[in-house]
Homo-oligomer: A and B are copies of this chain.
């Protein structure tokens, strides 16, 4: 009796100990909707996913049944069956730094409008953590993956290289694994350094925070350094061991003044640092830019509200997110992608601080 005969043809017979108990999910299923609408499950599925593939009457009665039963599609089941999830993995190195949040914002408003959902991961600038996140996200059969930066560890690179969905690397411009939207940080560093030299400053210190982690800031230093070298100038670097913040900027100012008393200008790796230094200088009664000139990077709103206004480089962060999202959507909808690299550029914003 325990051995059920396979020749049995009617499965709905009342066989005694064959019907297993499974957690009874009270969830309304598509089959129930279909039954209520008087169509087959597959037609109900089509009515919801490909509305123009069914007759008007069928679509109407399905939608009505959905409404009536309070049906909520089980996206997990749908994804498994179709191996399309409409999930987009987004991996950033930090949430404290508002720069990444703005990129996420741009991504999100564009992706959500197209019915995609964001799966968010934060690496805290740890590439091994990135690998773990990528593994998890691939497990969710995401439709695409967005990650900040072009550098990944070996395992992560291998995993992604064998993945057959779009990969979008943002923030920095360069030859990536697949799609790329960003800006040239070396050029940005050069741009600001040139500006400072044009303004007549000769003793210029670059101040960054955790450059080994925030390697894009160190790329900007590279650009900065190369310009100064070309002019035969020294390019001292001060690296802080905290994350970028107003507080760290204030400390950076103090340290620079102590270590390099002749400094005329400080090129900070970002606006948080620069604004912190500027506000600290004010508190100390220093005149900016006469006593010390200050420049930043990012173009945060804060820089435009301090006095004097902060000289900085504006990067189009939300725009970067939106463009990345648009390119992904284009790719996901099967269209050809003409350019795999997109330079969103940057703008020098000169303020009174230099």
Contact = CB atoms under 8 A, between A and B. Distances in A.
Given A83-B23, A95-B101, A75 B301 contact: no
A138 interface: yes
Contact-size category for A: 35 or more
A79 B139 CA distance: 11
Interface stretch (A113-121, A146-154, A186-194, A226-234): A113-121
Contacts of A162: 70
Interface stretch (A171-179, A202-210, A243-251, A290-298): A243-251
A112 interface: yes
Interface in A36-95: 70, 72-77, 79-80, 83, 85, 95
Nearest to A129: B112
B305 A73 contact: no
A283 interface: yes
A118 B119 CA distance: 6
Given A98-B98, A101-B101, A279-B306, A6 B6 contact: no
23 contacts: A7-B7, A7-B9, A23-B83, A25-B83, A70-B159, A72-B135, A72-B138, A72-B139, A74-B139, A74-B141, A75-B139, A76-B80, A77-B80, A96-B105, A108-B120, A109-B122, A120-B120, A246-B301, A275-B305, A276-B305, A279-B305, A279-B306, A279-B307
Interface of A: 6-7, 9, 23, 25, 70, 72-77, 79-80, 83, 85, 95-96, 98, 101-102, 104-105, 108-109, 112, 117-122, 135-136, 138-141, 159, 162, 245-247, 250, 275-276, 279-280, 282-283, 301-302, 304-307
